């Protein structure tokens, strides 16, 4: 019994086993050991008292021993209940702390990624403006040259027009491509910022709220914000949720239902 009580007093979450399973094992061991001691004592004490000869005194001592054993059993059960409650509180606190710490880490990750993408988007916006300005300048130069060159033959004129169209098409395509990359980066920036804000909201509700139903509802919305891409307006309505994202949401619903 003493080793079991020592294990209960020395219980930690770093033992390598599941806390709930270890708690139940220690409680069952303690109950079984107390019952075994009580059964063993109750069988042999009357015989020893009889052998000694002082029946009345030994009966009194036996009764006192039985009472002491019952008191010890009750005390052990109370201790086990207290330790069980402490273990439950430790497990709950550990889960809340790990969830809050994980959410904080991912929040910073999303904000950091949003900052990087915002800087890249600014660079691509500048590139788009530069290429657009080059395209406008090139078109102006071509118009000026064509305006002052009236002695070109028909074949030369066709070649010049074709070359101009190719150059302008390349510049327009490059400008459009740079603009598309800018819009995609701005979309990712907005999505990551929204994810970070959702995780911060989740942390606030976890710390302040005590209603499990409210926490589960906020958890579902946070999961939806993290795993389902929203429509920010940069991609013309594209970038919605896909099948894999919906599967993640269904898994989160199942886990939150079990936790409640």
Distance CA 244, CA 241 (A): 8
Distance CA 11, CA 20 (A): 11
User: At 44, is the secondary structure helix, strand, or coil?
Assistant: helix
CA atoms within 13 A on the CB side of 95: 10
Q: What is the pLDDT of residues 92-109, one digit of tens each?
A: 665 555 555 555 666 777
In the DSSP assignment, the letter for residue 80 is H
Residue 238 has phi, psi (to 5 degrees) of -90, 170
With residue 213 as reference, give the H or E element that holds it. Answer: helix 212-227
pLDDT at 165: 84
CA torsion 25-29-30-32 (nearest 10°) is 140
Q: Are 131 and 182 in contact (CB under 8 A)?
A: no
24: Cβ contacts below 8 Å, ≥ 6 apart: none
pLDDT at 260: 46
Distance CA 215, CA 230 (A): 22
Let me know the angle formed at the C-alpha of 254 by 99 and 14, rounded to the nearest 5 degrees: 35
With residue 133 as reference, give the H or E element that holds it. Answer: helix 55-147
Q: What is the pLDDT of residues 154-211, one digit of tens each?
A: 666 677 777 778 888 888 888 888 888 888 888 888 888 877 777 777 767 666 655 6
Q: For the chain, which residues score pLDDT lower than 70? A: 1-2, 4-20, 22-23, 26, 30, 41, 43-59, 91-106, 146-157, 203, 205-219, 221-233, 235-260
Name the residue among 69, 88, 90, 72 with its Cα closest to residue 5: 72
User: At 149, is the secondary structure helix, strand, or coil?
Assistant: coil
50: Cβ contacts below 8 Å, ≥ 6 apart: 58
């Amino acid at each position: 019994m003493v080793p079991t009580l020592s294990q209960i007093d020395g219980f930690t979450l770093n033992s390598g086993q599941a806390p709930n399973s270890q708690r139940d094992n220690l409680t069952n061991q303690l109950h079984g050991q107390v019952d075994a001691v009580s059964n063993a004592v109750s069988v042999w004490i009357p015989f020893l008292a009889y052998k000694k000869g002082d029946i009345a005194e030994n009966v009194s001592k036996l009764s006192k021993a039985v009472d002491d054993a019952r008191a010890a059993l009750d005390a052990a059960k109370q201790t086990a209940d207290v330790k069980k409650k402490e273990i439950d509180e430790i497990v709950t606190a550990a889960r809340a702390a790990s969830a809050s710490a994980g959410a904080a880490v991912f929040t910073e990750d999303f904000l950091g990624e949003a900052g990087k993408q915002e800087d890249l988007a600014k660079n691509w916006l500048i590139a788009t403006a530069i290429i657009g300005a080059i395209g406008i300048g090139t078109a102006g130069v071509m118009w000026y040259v064509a305006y002052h060159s009236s002695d070109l033959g028909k074949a030369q004129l066709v070649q010049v027009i074709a070359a101009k169209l190719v150059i302008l098409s390349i510049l327009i395509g490059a400008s459009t491509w740079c603009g598309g990359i800018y819009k995609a980066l701005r979309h990712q920036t907005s999505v990551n910022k929204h994810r970070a804000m959702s995780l911060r909201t989740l942390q606030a509700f976890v710390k302040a709220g005590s209603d499990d139903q409210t926490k589960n509802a906020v958890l579902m919305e946070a999961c939806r914000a993290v795993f389902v891409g929203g429509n920010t307006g940069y991609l013309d309505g594209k970038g919605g949720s896909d099948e894999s994202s919906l599967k993640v949401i269904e898994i989160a619903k199942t886990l939150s239902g079990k936790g409640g």
